[in-house]
Amino acid sequence: MSVFSSSTIVRYTTRYAEASKVVTLGVLIKFFALVIAVLSAVAAIPAMLLSSAAFALALWVTLCALTVFLVGVLFSTLGFMLSTSIDCAVCGSPFLDESDKAELLSLQRFPPSYNMPQSETD
């Protein structure tokens, strides 16, 4: 492992951690938005009997929470896209050997005793 390889591994590992944090933020946003949407939708049922203004407010809060849920979906998608672009960068990096790439991509290498199927042209 060279100096380039070591610093490259640290750089990619940091980027993967950042992508994971973006996905986690998106999941948290979706969770809290969904909780608020469900609670306000449940509150809209008795509010419908009280007054039309209370019902309209509960319905408006539900729609706003669902909009925030969509923002959470976008955050999660952004994190997954970031992770995918990092995967592409790792695969194309000239500073990493195959074992470093496999480690970064969390792939299990076949043990030497495993017989890989041979193609027809071999």
Q: What is the dihedral of CA 77, 25, 62, 74, to 10 degrees?
A: -20
> Within a 10 A sphere around the Cβ of 26, how many other Cβ atoms?
20
Q: What phi-psi label fits residue 106: left (phi over 0), alpha (psi between -120 and 50 degrees) or beta?
A: left
**Two structure tokens written together for 109:** 């290498």
Average pLDDT, the chain: 83
Q: What gap in Å lies between CA 19 and CA 25, rounded to an integer?
A: 10
* pLDDT winner (highest mean) among 5-9, 22-26, 108-112: 22-26
pLDDT tier, 96 (very low <50, low <70, confident <90, very high otherwise): confident
- For 29-44, the pLDDT digits (tens) are 999 999 999 999 898 8
What average pLDDT score do residues 66-83 get?
94
**What ranges make up the beta strands (E) of 21-121?**
none
Distance of CA 26 to the CA centre of its chain: 7
Res 12 pLDDT > 50: yes
Domain range summary for the chain, segments of one domain joined by + = 3-104
Residue 114, pLDDT score: 45
Q: What is the largest CA-CA distance in the chain?
A: 78
